[in-house]
């Protein structure tokens, strides 16, 4: 561990790899899972979620369009990530640096690209709390609305997608604002920090746009219809 940073604590020397090197993590315990194994287990979880969601929509609404099937899968997937993975962070943020649970080790690995997850940063905890406990459950409700063709689907989809985009833009903005919380290697910056978060900008932007267009179309249709009797009267 040639590049490990030694940080002096009141009682012991704590070695960690996070940036900036001056952050104090007295309760830090190194991961015991290797990076490929952690990522493989996370990938397997993602695949299970996507597969399970696909099977569900195929069973409950077999004649759903391909677009609705994919939207259902996305909402189940993002709901799970918010309500379980991100909620895990919110509940455990104070002790995360010492965790050896799967989600704990995943967050510690991710934190190499943003150490604020290990220091209970006020913005990160608040934003993640809203993401976990508002956007998480609402994503499942949207999935239900897609399955049942409920008229609340598009306003809810607009709300959650905008919430995800806004949270993500603030996340990028605050972390790039002054000091760097990311290790200098490109892998951490581009793969963990840019790529993973960018998913939650690009996909919600697609669904926000979709809902916006659908809602405007609905009002236009109603407007045209209500225009006729007005002319007659």
Q: Is residue 229 a contact point for its own copies (CB under 8 A)? A: no
- Which positions ≥6 away from 106 have C-beta within 8 Å? 38, 42, 85
Of the pair 59, 219, the CB lying nearest its own copies is at 219
Per-residue x/- marks for its own copies, 100-129, CB under 8 A?
----------------------xx-xxx-x
Within residues 181-220, the interface with its own copies by CB under 8 A covers 208, 211-212, 215-216, 218-220
Question: Which window, 18-26, 51-59, 72-80, 167-175, contacts its own copies (CB under 8 A)?
Answer: 167-175
Residue 176 vs 202, nearer CB to its own copies? 176
Regarding beta strands 5-8 and 13-16, do their DSSP bridges make them parallel or antiparallel, or are they unpaired? antiparallel
Binders in 5-24 for its own copies, by CB under 8 A:
none
State the binding string over 52-91 for its own copies (x if CB under 8 A, else -): ----------------------------------------
User: If you write DSSP's letter for every residue of the chain in order, what string do you get?
Assistant: -TTPEEEE-SSSEEEE--SSTT---TT-----S-HHHHHHHHHHHHHHHHHHHHHHHHHH-TT--HHHHHHHHHHHHHHHIIIIIIHHHHHHTTTGGG--SHHHHHHHHHTTS-GGGTTT-HHHHHHHHHIIIIIHHHHHHHHHHHHHT-TTHHHHHHHHHHHHHHHHHHHHHHHHHSS--S-SSHIIIIIIIIIHHHHHHHHHHHHHHHHHHHHHHHHHHHHHHHHHHHHH-
In terms of CB distance, is 104 or 167 closer to its own copies?
167
227 contacts its own copies (rule: CB under 8 A): no
Q: Using the rule CB under 8 A, which residue among 39, 130, 141, 194 binds its own copies?
A: 130
Q: Cβ of residue 187: shortest distance to its own copies, in angstroms? A: 25
Which residues are near its own copies by CB under 8 A?
Answer: 122-123, 125-127, 129-130, 149, 151-155, 158-159, 162-163, 166-167, 169-170, 173-175, 177-178, 208, 211-212, 215-216, 218-223, 225
């Amino acid at each position: 561990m040639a590049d490990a940073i030694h940080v002096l604590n009141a009682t012991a020397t704590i070695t960690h790899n996070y940036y900036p090197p001056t952050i104090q993590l007295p309760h830090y315990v190194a991961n015991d899972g290797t990076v490929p194994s952690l990522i493989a287990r996370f990938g397997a979880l993602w695949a299970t979620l996507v597969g399970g969601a696909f099977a569900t929509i195929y069973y409950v609404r077999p004649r759903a369009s391909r677009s609705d099937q994919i939207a259902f899968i996305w909402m189940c997937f993002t709901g799970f990530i918010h309500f379980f993975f991100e909620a895990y962070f919110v509940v455990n943020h104070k002790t995360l640096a010492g965790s050896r649970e799967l989600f704990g080790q995943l967050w510690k690995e991710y934190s190499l690209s943003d150490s604020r997850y290990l220091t209970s940063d006020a913005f990160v905890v608040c934003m993640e709390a809203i993401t976990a406990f508002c956007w998480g459950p609402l994503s499942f409700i949207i999935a239900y609305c897609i399955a049942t063709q409920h008229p609340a689907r598009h306003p809810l989809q607009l709300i959650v997608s905008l919430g995800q985009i806004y949270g993500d833009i603030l996340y990028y903005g605050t972390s790039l604002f002054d000091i760097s919380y990311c290790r200098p290697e490109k892998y951490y910056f581009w793969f963990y920090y840019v790529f993973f978060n960018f998913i939650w900008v690009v996909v919600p932007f697609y669904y926000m746009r979709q809902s916006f267009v659908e809602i405007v179309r609905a009002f236009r249709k109603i407007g045209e219809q209500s225009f006729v009797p007005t002319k007659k009267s």
